[in-house]
């Protein structure tokens, strides 16, 4: 008789309360996981897609900072049929059941939702962040966790040793057992089998449920609130079995040969965010968003397709209901319901939803947030001093136009908004 395969009960907590202060002004009115990405996604869509594609579909999204935009996105894009018991993506704000306070750290966020954990009685608890761009089959990490008899598994990304000081570094022995954690060390310890790379923590964890519950209760009594700084080092000292799961071994179906294997980006700064968006462009992108075998799910927007009336479009993505009329667009991502008028010239730009670029405007290396009108003949990205006077400019010269106030575009029969001049 064939042995029955063990199928653990899994509950996921996604940490989606991040402020994303280094992404301001994009996070001035929204949390980091709610920031738009690529032609149609938001950052949170990547972790949720990884979970759903991995058949982990009992998901609580723990939110806090300026979460309304994210909550609306989850409501519209991530509804799972109530006919499927145990399948849900549910937003969980601070409940303040144990303490009358907001979440004070990642571990505290899960501690404040221990009632949900105890109600579902999972065998394994997935605790993942919501602010990275990547694909991951989490089932492979679960199998590793079970087969190796781990109490906790930590997803570990191999990074060049010279870049390791930018990350929290995991020290592990030849068997993958974690021996120490280092926070952005000057002299990081290399991987056991590769002196040129080190294991960086991805902030993604699997816990045996009983281990997690006990650890959170002890940490709460001590006033400790963070997984990376408090809970994991405590478990390490108490001789629990903590293992590093090598993300480089994770195999995703449908990945093209030209893609960067093990693609993972922390889009925590404006420049990193811009570069990751550039990674989805081109005939052979570093990260190809089109993968029917491992799709990235997002909004079910029902608007019409983009329209190009005339113009020159090179290496760009156009969102639904966008209209390009006699304009030049190069190396750009233009999201939905954006109008680009005649004579406009855009190069290396990210133009978010509901924006109008008026006649003759020229933009170079600019991020334009939603609901903006860029005036006719404007020049942005050409005069650093003027740009700094009016907008946010990064050290590399990337210009960011913050969220605007235009709430609605009334369009004529050609899809043109108010004030569009012939």
Instruction: Tell me the C-alpha distance between 267 and 388, whole Å.
Output: 23
Contacts of 255 (CB under 8 A, 6+ apart): 135, 261, 288, 291, 294
**Joined tokens for residue 366:** 């600019």
E strand segments, 83-231:
88-92, 124-129, 132-134, 152-160, 168-172, 178-183, 197-208
pLDDT digits (tens, 9 = 90+) for 121-150: 999 999 999 999 999 999 999 999 999 999
Report DSSP state, residue 177: B
Residue 100, pLDDT > 70, answer no
**Strand, helix or coil for residue 54:** coil
Alpha helices in 238-284 (DSSP H): 270-278
Packing angle, helices 44-53 and 68-77, rounded to 10: 40
Percentage of residues of the chain with pLDDT beyond 70: 92
Residues 6+ apart with CB under 8 A from 58: 10, 11, 12, 86, 87, 88, 120, 122
Overall average pLDDT of the 244-250 stretch: 96
Q: Is residue 310 scored above 60 in pLDDT?
A: yes
Give 167's pLDDT tier (boundaries 50, 70, 90).
confident
pLDDT at 357 over 70: yes
219-240: average pLDDT: 89
317 pLDDT more than 80: yes
- pLDDT for the residue numbered 422: 33
Q: Cis check for the bond before 25: say yes or no (omega within 30 of 0).
A: yes
Distance (Å, rounded) from C-alpha 49 to C-alpha 296?
Answer: 5
- What mean pLDDT is predicted for residues 390-407? 91
Q: Which residue has the higher pLDDT, 416 or 60?
A: 60
pLDDT score recorded for residue 363 = 98
Lowest mean pLDDT among 51-65, 172-186, 338-352: 172-186
- Residue spans of beta strands (DSSP E) within 71-187: 88-92, 124-129, 132-134, 152-160, 168-172, 178-183
Band (pLDDT 50/70/90 cuts) for residue 421 is: very low
Q: Highest mean pLDDT: which of 5-9, 36-40, 158-162?
A: 36-40
3-state secondary structure 354-378: CCEECCCCEEECEEECCCCEECCCC
Report the mean per-residue pLDDT for the chain: 89
Residue 420 banded pLDDT, cuts 50, 70, 90: very low
The annotation places the binding site for alpha-D-glucose 1-phosphate at: 168, 183-184, 201
Q: What is the pLDDT of residue 96?
A: 57
**Is residue 172 predicted with pLDDT exceeding 70?**
yes
Find where tokens 């980006």 sit. 265
CATH C-level class of 10-249: alpha beta
* DSSP 3-state of 245: strand
Instruction: Quote the CATH superfamily of domain 307-401.
Output: Hexapeptide repeat proteins (2.160.10.10)
Task: Assess contact for 313 and 325: CB atoms under 8 A.
Answer: no
pLDDT exceeds 80 at position 86: no
pTM over 0.85: yes
pLDDT tens profile 252-291: 999 999 999 999 999 999 999 999 999 999 999 999 999 9
330-338, Cβ contacts within 8 angstroms, sequence gap of 24 or more:
331/278, 331/281, 333/38, 333/39, 333/277, 333/280, 333/281, 334/39, 335/36, 335/39, 335/40, 336/40, 336/301, 336/303, 337/303, 337/409
Annotated binding site: 168, 183-184, 201
Per domain, the residue ranges of the chain are 10-249, 307-401
Phi/psi-derived region of residue 280, left when phi > 0, alpha when psi is between -120 and 50, beta in every other case:
alpha
> What average pLDDT score do residues 53-63 get?
93
pLDDT of residue 97: 58
Residue 3 pLDDT exceeds 60: no
């Amino acid at each position: 008789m064939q042995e029955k395969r063990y199928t653990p009960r899994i509950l996921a907590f996604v940490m989606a309360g991040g402020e994303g202060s280094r992404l301001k002004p994009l996070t001035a009115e929204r949390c980091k996981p709610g920031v738009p990405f690529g032609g149609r996604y938001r950052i949170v869509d990547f972790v949720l897609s990884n979970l759903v594609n991995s058949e982990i579909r009992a998901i609580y999204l723990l939110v806090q900072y300026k979460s309304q935009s994210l909550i609306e996105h989850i409501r519209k894009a991530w509804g799972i049929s109530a006919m499927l018991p145990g399948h849900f993506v549910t937003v969980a704000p601070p409940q303040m059941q144990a303490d009358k306070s907001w979440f004070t750290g990642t571990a505290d966020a899960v501690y404040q939702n221990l009632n949900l954990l105890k109600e579902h009685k999972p065998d394994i608890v997935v605790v993942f962040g919501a602010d990275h761009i990547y694909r991951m089959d989490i089932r492979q990490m679960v199998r590793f966790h079970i087969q190796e008899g781990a109490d906790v598994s930590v997803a570990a990304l191999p990074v060049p040793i010279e870049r390791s000081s930018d990350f929290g570094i995991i020290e592990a022995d030849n068997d993958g057992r974690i021996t120490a954690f280092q926070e952005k060390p000057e002299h990081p310890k290399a991987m056991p089998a590769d002196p040129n790379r080190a294991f960086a923590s991805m902030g993604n964890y699997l816990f045996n449920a009983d281990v997690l519950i006990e650890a959170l209760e002890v940490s709460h009594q001590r006033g400790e609130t963070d997984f990376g700084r408090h809970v994991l080092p405590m478990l390490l000292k108490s001789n629990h079995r903590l293992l590093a799961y090598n993300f480089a071994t994770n195999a995703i179906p449908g990945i093209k040969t030209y893609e960067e294997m093990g693609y993972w980006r922390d889009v925590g700064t404006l420049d990193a965010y811009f570069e990751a968006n550039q990674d989805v462009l081109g005939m052979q992108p570093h990260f190809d968003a089109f993968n029917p075998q491992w799709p990235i799910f997002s909004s079910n927007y029902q608007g019409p397709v983009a329209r190009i009336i005339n113009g020159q479009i090179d290496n760009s993505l156009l969102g639904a209901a966008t209209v390009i009329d006699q304009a030049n667009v190069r190396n750009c991502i233009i999201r939905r319901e954006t109008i680009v008028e005649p004579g406009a010239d855009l190069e290396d730009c990210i133009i978010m939803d509901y924006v109008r670029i008026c006649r003759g405007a020229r933009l170079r290396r600019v991020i334009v947030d939603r609901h903006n009108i860029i005036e006719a003949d404007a020049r942005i990205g050409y005069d650093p001093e003027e740009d700094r006077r009016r907008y946010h400019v990064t050290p590399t010269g990337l210009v960011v136009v913050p969220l605007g106030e235009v709430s609605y575009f009334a369009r004529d029969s050609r899809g043109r908004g108010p004030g569009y001049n012939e």
